Amino acid sequence: MTDSLKPPGKVLLTREEIQARIKDLGQQITEDYEGRTPLLVGVLKGAFVYMADLARAINLPIEFDFMAVSSYGNATKTSGVVRIVKDLDIDLTGRDVIVVEDIIDSGLTLNYLRKILGSRGPSSLEVCALLVRSGRQSEDLGLRYIGFEIPPDFVVGYGLDVAERYRNLPDLWSYDQTK
């Protein structure tokens, strides 16, 4: 990796650790949704890498749609305001929906998504988050599928960014904002 691609900080999770956990999550989802066709709803942009790998780890027919929401902009801290940038194309009525999130921080965005998507009549609505920042949520979010619980550091790589940089790193890095 060239120094221009390497972010300031250290590797928090290697690509091998990430892939092993995704394989386990895919197997669990395959068992839980046997005989059904779940709809994976990827939250753009951060979840696109994770969702692609997760989809390949699920041994069922699945469908995809994407939604883009924003609460960060180019900052490293949430603004506290969630807005839909791109809405879904598929009707959720009667569907088994799994929201695929890259990272759960305070839970603000997730709670907003659950409220909006739940009002659209899905048969079931679950969340599959790759990362949950420990100690940042004010309440139990009732997440069914969690990849990793991580420290409350800002992280980049594996789809996550800072100002649109570092998404293409295969490992997850703790981003040192002081450098």
> Among all residues, which ones are annotated catalytic?
105
Q: Report the distance separating Cα 178 and Cα 166, nearest Å.
A: 17
Q: Report the distance separating Cα 146 and Cα 136, nearest Å.
A: 15
Contact 13, 160 (CB under 8 A): no
Q: Report the distance separating Cα 75 and Cα 71, nearest Å.
A: 9
Contact 160, 133 (CB under 8 A): no
Cβ neighbourhood burial of 60 (10 Å; 0-12, 13-18, 19+): middle
Contact 100, 128 (CB under 8 A): yes
